[in-house]
Amino acid sequence: MLVTGGAGFIGANFVPGAVAAYGRVTVLDALTYAGDRRNLAAVSSSDFEFVEGDIADAALVDKLVGQSDIVVHFAAESHVDNSIGDPAPFIRTNVVGTFNILEAVRRHDVRLHHISTDEVFGALPLDTGTRFTESTRYDPSSPYSATKASSDHLVRAWTRSYGIAATISNCANNYGPYQHVEKLIPRHITSVLTGSRPKVYGTGANVREWTHVDDHNAAVQLILDSGRLGDTYLIGSGQERSNKQVTQAILRLLDRSPDAYDQVADRPGHDLRYATDSTKLRTELGWTPQYEDFESGLAQTITWYRDNAVWWHEAKRTTEARYAAGT
């Protein structure tokens, strides 16, 4: 199995299970600011190989895909705020990189699973029961989600035009160990742990559906085992929370006052609400999230960040400097 982006948050949580299930696993990762070789330090199998390289390098991708039976494609530029500041790396990695993978998969007749996001569908209104489904029209808001939408369209087109053996999953917001401190939950936790106040964009009314990374990866494994080729699966826990609720849950779990946060300028084009209908995954493949109680998953995540300050300390410094500079 070839895992792209295996040194990032979700990929690094996926790789140990993949090594146990498949034996020979190669990770291809460019080790951008978001990738960290330490995330895979516990993977010790002699059949495991780490290749530092770029999915925009077509020759390297062709070689590694040619040595594989299955590709699980996590690699991406993943942060919305960064994409608004500078969209260029998002086009290169998310669009051109995915194109390279598709061409290699086509040449070598290799099975592909493409990891994507519910953000491709745009925003839902607040306070309604509406949810994204596998047939919701694409309507991306940010450069990040537009490039992920582009990559999904490429995968669908390669499936229809060239008959490649591919599946796609679109997951809701993830949380758990090894998530980069630029993202909401680890940013807030590490801000409180370092004595500063969490920053909430706008009023904090925006809603996200929080899915534990292990539940995401369990769904990916089910799709690899028995998903229908050519199909898309939505993944989401059903645990919707406003950003204000998430912020106040973190403050409560860290024994701070519920109003110990600041409201700051809103994100441009900020999607109001994401929510998925994952009935297809649940009924066809039998997926059930193990982290059904968001607050206890959040408490475990806080413990992980508290116990692993060495892992995030330097990234926290550079990330907050980047946020402060508005880049």
Give me the active site residues, please.
Answer: 118-119, 144
Residue identified by tokens 């006052």 is 257
- Residue at 104: amino acid letter: A
- By a kind-dependent CB cut-off of 5 to 8 A, residue 236 interacts, out of ligand DAU, ligand NAD, none, with none
Under rule CB under 6 A, residue 174 binds ligand NAD:
yes
Q: Judged by CB under 6 A, which of 15, 48, 72, 78 binds ligand NAD?
A: 78
Residue 289 near ligand NAD by CB under 6 A: no
316 binding partner (options ligand DAU, ligand NAD, none; Cβ < 5 to 8 Å by kind) = none
Please check whether residue 61 is in contact with residue 79, taking contact to mean a CB–CB distance below 8 angstroms. Answer: no
Helical residues (DSSP H) of the chain, grouped into ranges? 9-22, 58-66, 80-85, 88-90, 98-108, 143-162, 184-193, 213-226, 243-253, 279-285, 294-307, 309-325
Residues 143-182 that bind ligand DAU (CB under 6 A): 172-173
Give helix 184-193 / helix 294-307 axis angle, nearest 10°.
50
State yes or no: residue 112 binds ligand NAD (CB under 6 A): no
- Looking at the DSSP bridge assignments, the partners of residue 263 are 200
Query: Which residue in 73, 131, 183, 241 binds ligand DAU (CB under 6 A)?
Result: 183
By the rule CB under 6 A, 78 interacts with ligand DAU = yes
Nearer to ligand NAD, 256 or 311 (CB): 311
Per-residue tokens: 68: 């594989």
177 binds ligand NAD, rule: CB under 6 A? no
**Rounded to the nearest whole angstrom, what is the least distance from the CB of residue 195 to ligand NAD in the complex?**
25
232/116 Cα distance (integer angstroms): 10
For residue 233, the surrounding DSSP H or E stretch is: strand 232-235
By beta-carbon proximity to ligand DAU, the closer residue of 159 and 173 is 173
Cβ neighbours of residue 229 closer than 8 Å, sequence gap 6 or more:
159, 165, 166, 167
The item of ligand NAD, ligand DAU, none sharing an interface with residue 243, based on CB under 5 to 8 Å by kind, is ligand DAU
Which residues bind to ligand DAU, rule: CB under 6 A? 78-80, 117-119, 172-173, 183-184, 187, 199-201, 206, 208, 243, 267, 274
